[in-house]
Structure 1
Amino acid sequence: MDDLIYLYGLIPSDEADHQSFPSFKGFDGEKNIYTIPAGDVTAVVCRLDSEQFSEEAIKDKIDNDMEWLQEKAFHHHETVTALYKSFTIIPLKFCTIYKSEESLKQTIEASGPKISETLQSLKGNEEWNVKIYSDDPVLKKKVGETHPAVEAKMQEISVLPKGRQFFEKKKIDKLIEDELENEKNRVCEQLHEQLKHYALHAAIKKNWNKDVTGLKENMAWNSVFLLQSEKVETFLEEMKQADEKLGGTGWRIEATGPWPAYHFSSF
């Protein structure tokens, strides 16, 4: 059977023609990565044995072999990141595989205008990720001590009999929890809108839990921004000032990048 084609990303052919292509080992760790020209677009690929890397075999590895999954996912990310340093690239998702070079070319040709438009939109731009972390016990204490709604409720129950106060304080605990979430959303949304002014595009991603981050803080916000390269410094300075303003109050803001534009180059 013919080999399968593993697709890492798509780059402009004029860049592929005028820059030396780095030498990388492919997904199987043996065959080299190479390029397939398809008009104005060049695909960065490697060959895979069709039996060893069949759809069923890969699904089994993903479901049952975490070490394999981590190794291969890291390989994909590192390869795409290395390509991004030299080329404008539409990065493809992990394990994007075609049955043949011909089927890949047909897909590229069918989506040609969209691919060219996307590559043009990415040229000279960078993807940055901003995560906002909250120390909830610190923030909860602050809300309990300073929030007007909580303060009003505390005054209301202070004149009640002791038995009633016990049950009303349970309601206060719920009120504090609700106001804490409101405060977290307010701060995060405000900063997101503030940073959006510097971006061509922005998107909100799913928060990671503590099992993934390994941190004691909760991830309260997770967003990505596509920035013109010349605006990155101003964007990061704005974020730094926001972090300093919130510093010591239970908040921490973290920016990472630039990354290949996974979130702004759907193909």
Structure 2
Amino acid sequence: MGDLIYLYGLIPTKEVASHQSFPSFKGFDGVENLYTISRNQVTAVVCNLDRNDYSEQVIKEKVNNDMEWLQEKAFHHHETLTALYKTFTIIPLKFCTIYENEENLRETIHGNEEKLESSLTLLHGSEEWNVKIYCDDNDLRKQVDVNNSTIQAKKQEISGLPRGRQFFEKKKIDQLIETELEKEKNRVCENVHEKLKEHSLHAAIKKNWSKDVTGLKENMTWNSVFLLPVPQVEHFLEEIKNFEKELEGTGWRFEATGPWPAYHFSSFSKVRN
């Protein structure tokens, strides 16, 4: 029946043709080399896999039960795409995108050719960047307590009450501070996101990571990705530095990483045929 086809990504055929030879990379099994399969203006970067060793059932069991294997293979997939991205415009495919044979892969490319060419045009000359925003709630809480007008108004209101009532009303202050703290976090993050969007072609908001994942003392309060035209990258990073200066000492920290293969802006379904 032949080998399975592991698909890493899709690149413009004209970019492949402009290189004398395709870069040499080991494939998913660590033995076979990567090679290309072209269909008109779209070229797939693939490797062969033995169907006995990499059947759907085998991979499912590995993913669910062998964390070391999963980490090793996921790292290989990401590192391969990152290396290809340095040379080619690429639509990166999800981890373990596998086809039964070359014919099925060609059919899938043919059925999505217009969409793929449009995506490659969009991605050419663009970079994906990730911005994570962290907040030390304790530091920001102090700022909110002192500077928030709603809290100050509540404190002023309480100060005019009889002492007996003040005791109970002051308990509500803590709840109010927590509410205003969350409002302030959302306000700052949304403001930063909107400003950064001005430099991008597209932007998306991702799920925040917990402290168990980040290993940091601060909470991640925002996690977003941006597709940037290369000439805008410097302005984008300068904008982040401006926010860092503006919010210095108030508990905020920004982390910009990139460029990455455009995982979030090159939609192409994971298909196994």
- For residues 61 and 262 of structure 1, the distance between their equivalents in structure 2, rounded to whole angstroms, comes to 23
Q: Which moved more, 1:48-57 or 1:37-46?
A: 48-57
* Amino acid in the other structure paired with 1:49: D
* Amino acid in the other structure paired with 2:10: L
State the shift of 1:41 in Å: 0.7
Indicate whether 1:24 and 2:25 are aligned: yes
Match of 1:103 in 2: 104
- For residues 55 and 174 of structure 2, the distance between their equivalents in structure 1, rounded to whole angstroms, comes to 54
- For residues 45 and 225 of structure 1, the distance between their equivalents in structure 2, rounded to whole angstroms, comes to 27
- For residues 56 and 171 of structure 2, the distance between their equivalents in structure 1, rounded to whole angstroms, comes to 54
* Amino acid in the other structure paired with 2:7: L
Deviations 1:176-209 (A, max 9, x none): 1111111011011111111111111111111111
Q: Secondary structure at the match of 1:264?
A: coil
* Amino acid in the other structure paired with 1:105: R
State the shift of 1:51 in Å: 2.1
* Amino acid in the other structure paired with 2:11: I
Q: Secondary structure at the match of 1:6?
A: strand
- For residues 147 and 197 of structure 2, the distance between their equivalents in structure 1, rounded to whole angstroms, comes to 30
Deviations 1:29-88 (A, max 9, x none): 111111111111110011112122122221221112111111111100000000000000
Deviations 1:216-259 (A, max 9, x none): 11111111111111111111111111111112211011111111
Within 5 Å, give how 1:1-267 maps onto structure 2: 1-19=1-19, 20-160=21-161, 164-267=165-268
- For residues 4 and 173 of structure 2, the distance between their equivalents in structure 1, rounded to whole angstroms, comes to 61
* Amino acid in the other structure paired with 2:74: A
CA separation of 1:161/1:58 partners in 2, compared to 1, >3 Å: closer, same or farther? farther
Deviations 1:106-126 (A, max 9, x none): 000000000001001111111
Instruction: Give aligned pairs, total.
Output: 267
* Amino acid in the other structure paired with 2:38: P
TM-score (norm 2): 0.94
- For residues 64 and 174 of structure 2, the distance between their equivalents in structure 1, rounded to whole angstroms, comes to 42
- For residues 68 and 170 of structure 1, the distance between their equivalents in structure 2, rounded to whole angstroms, comes to 53
Give RMSD over aligned pairs: 1.3
Q: Secondary structure at the match of 1:57?
A: helix
- For residues 59 and 168 of structure 1, the distance between their equivalents in structure 2, rounded to whole angstroms, comes to 57
TM-score (norm 1): 0.96
State the shift of 1:160 in Å: 4.2
Runs (5+) with no aligned partner, structure 1: none
Runs (5+) with no aligned partner, structure 2: 269-273
Match of 2:271 in 1: none
Q: Which moved more, 1:61-70 or 1:90-99?
A: 61-70
Q: Which moved more, 1:230-239 or 1:83-92?
A: 230-239
- For residues 59 and 164 of structure 2, the distance between their equivalents in structure 1, rounded to whole angstroms, comes to 62
Q: Secondary structure at the match of 1:93?
A: strand
- For residues 115 and 162 of structure 2, the distance between their equivalents in structure 1, rounded to whole angstroms, comes to 70
Q: Secondary structure at the match of 2:47?
A: strand
- For residues 166 and 105 of structure 1, the distance between their equivalents in structure 2, rounded to whole angstroms, comes to 74
